[in-house]
Amino acid sequence: MAQARVYVTLKKGILDPQGEAVKNALHTLGYGNIDEVRVGKYVVLTLQDSSDSEALKNTVEEICKKVLTNPVIEDFSFEIVEG
């Protein structure tokens, strides 16, 4: 089995109200040295083993673009972990 660990974040320049709320809460708790908080999503896909790692990467990228993200406002990155 392989896992695709997908990280989805808002693009730079896109307002992140949840991140702002977390930052404000941290400041209230005395963590004033925090300049910015960005909140995103972490998705784990468990995949059948494939001998073709390039095809596996292409499949995960397609899933990210078509299902897991809104490409207008979100970026993504992922890693494939075997085992």
Grouping H, G, I as helix, E, B as strand and the rest as coil, residue 46 is: strand
* CATH number for the domain harbouring residue 41: 3.30.1280.10
Output the pLDDT for position 33. 97
Per-residue pLDDT of the chain (83 residues; tens, 9 = 90+): 899 999 999 999 999 999 999 999 999 999 999 999 999 999 999 998 777 889 999 999 999 999 999 999 999 999 999 87
* Counted domains in the chain: 1
Range of the domain at 59: 2-82
Output the pLDDT for position 74. 98
Output the pLDDT for position 30. 98
Question: Measured between alpha carbons, how far is 26 from 30 in angstroms, rounded to an integer?
Answer: 6
The answer to whether residues 38 and 9 touch, using CB atoms and an 8 Å cutoff, is yes
